[in-house]
Structure 1
Amino acid sequence: MTEHRQHPSSVVSFKSAHDFDTTIAQLKRALDGVGSTVFADVDQREAASLVGLALRPTRLILFGNPKAGTPIMAANAHAALELPLRLVVWQDDEGHAVVDYRDVSQTLGPLYAIAPELLGPIQRVAALLQAAVQ
């Protein structure tokens, strides 16, 4: 049975049409295709196993494009807490790869007073990610 857990309204969650490893590869290819850099790929399952704990396949990917993020951070240095962008790919109990993406374009405006025109590039990320794994 798939787990349904509470998450913030700014989190976009969707199932991938691909297996776990293919989902990771597809997401990285899509990000590269739009000029984004993957800054880190953290295997959280592996980290858990190093301390003797079990965790479903789970990878945290930090990514971004300095052309989009730099103007946001220049407008409000505190906004750097939200950047780079991040997504998590995890495997549910039924073996499906699930992608969670925190859409910071929903929070940067109200919480950091970032002007809407600076948010344009990151407002397109959720759709890009979803299209990459369908």
Structure 2
Amino acid sequence: MKKILFALLLLTSNATVLGADNGVISTASRFSTGDTVARLEAALKAKGMTVFAKIDHAQQARKAGLTMRPAQLLVFGNPVSGTPIMQAAPQAGIDLPLKALVWEDAAGKVWVSYNDPAWLQERFGLSDELVKPLAGVRTLMESASR
């Protein structure tokens, strides 16, 4: 039942969302890449999450003499939520802490992409109880892009 409710929530969201592709959800942002990253960082911290790293892929490309459109990755989480998941399924550590990629497409549109918590649940055979703390991830991603 919880999976059905979660699926309905995903379908009724008013944000522009690309379909989940291999478990990745992409939500359109009306802000620039930098502004979206700043808004997302603030929203995560306001929810008590830790931002462990911020990687600017485009900046690293420039350092290597290459060019690419803006793309920044935030690595974030909360050990209180993530540790029980990794205790139950140690391989989940490949996807935890959580990540959000803020990127610009060829048309200049900015997107926020992240792993669908339902996909993580299925991938690692996690119980509803273990993934319950991840339920707010979509709301956080959308709030940073509205």
Give the match for residue 30 of structure 1. Answer: 43
Give the match for residue 58 of structure 1. Answer: 71
Q: Structure 2 residue aligned with 1:111, among 93, 116, 123?
A: 123
Q: Contact 1:89/1:97 (CA < 8 Å) preserved in 2?
A: yes
- Report the identity percentage: 37
1:114 partner letter: L
TM-score normalised to the size of structure 2? 0.80
- The CA RMSD over aligned residues, in Å, is 1.9
**Aligned-pair CA distance for 1:32:** 0.4
Once the two structures are superposed, residues 89-113 of structure 1 have per-residue CA deviations (whole angstroms, 9 ceiling, x without a partner) of 112233332111112x223332222
Give the match for residue 125 of structure 1. Answer: 137
Distance 1:85 1:14 in 2: 16
Give the match for residue 77 of structure 1. Answer: 90
Structure 2: gaps of 5 or more residues: 1-17
**Aligned-pair CA distance for 1:61:** 0.9
Give the match for residue 94 of structure 1. Answer: 107
How many matched pairs?
A: 129
Q: Determine whether 1:43 maps to 2:56.
A: yes
**Aligned-pair CA distance for 1:51:** 1.7
Distance 1:66 1:28 in 2: 17
TM-score normalised to the size of structure 1? 0.87
Once the two structures are superposed, residues 15-67 of structure 1 have per-residue CA deviations (whole angstroms, 9 ceiling, x without a partner) of 11212211111000100011111111001011111222110011011111111
Distance 2:20 2:66 in 1: 23
Q: Structure 1 residue aligned with 2:31, among 4, 8, 18?
A: 18
Q: Contact 1:20/1:96 (CA < 8 Å) preserved in 2?
A: no
Q: Structure 2 residue aligned with 1:8, among 8, 17, 21?
A: 21
